[in-house]
Each structure stands twice: as structure tokens, then as C-alpha cells.
Amino acid sequence: NFKSAIDFFCIHAGGRAVLDGIEKNLSLDAADMAPSRSVLFDRGNTSSSSIWYELKYIEEHTELRRGHKILQLAFGSGFKCNSAVWTRIR
């Protein structure tokens, strides 16, 4: 279960169907999806830059502490996917 190694998720808010599919296929829950769904609601589809708005959401609305890990997933046209895992160091 990869969720045991990841504390928060920033998933490209490319639309409701994208988020629904990722939520289902990665077995995420509503709390995991809150940053992405909030950014989609507030800003719409801002392309892959949405992951940075989602990171800001996490910083402002959660108890982000040193050592926490954040998985960022961004998607492009065709079959393109970039991911990064960030670790809070301060």
C-alpha cells in the first residue's frame, strides 16, 4: 500500500473525470483528494500548474510537518505523466 509512504497528494486537477479515475484506481479517499478538488473548484483546470496551487492548499489547511511526504502527479497530452515525491525538511 503506497499510501503508507505518502502523507499528502497533489494530483493534476485536469477535470472531475480525471480526479474520479485517479481516486478510484489509486484507492484514495476524500481527504486525499481535497487539495485537488478544491483547486479544481476554485481555479478550474489550470493544466499541470494546478499541483503548485494544491501544495499551497496543503500548507494552509493541514498539519504539514517535517518528514511528511507529498506525491505530485501531473498529466499531459497523450500518455504523459510526471511525478515527484517531496519531503518536508523544515
Average pLDDT, integer, range 73-81? 82
Q: What's the rounded Cα separation, in Å, for the pair 35 and 59?
A: 10
Average pLDDT, integer, range 42-69? 92
Q: Encode pLDDT of 10-44 as tens digits.
A: 998 889 998 999 999 999 999 999 999 999 999 98
Sign of the four-CA dihedral 49, 50, 55, 57 = positive
- Residue 43: what pLDDT? 92
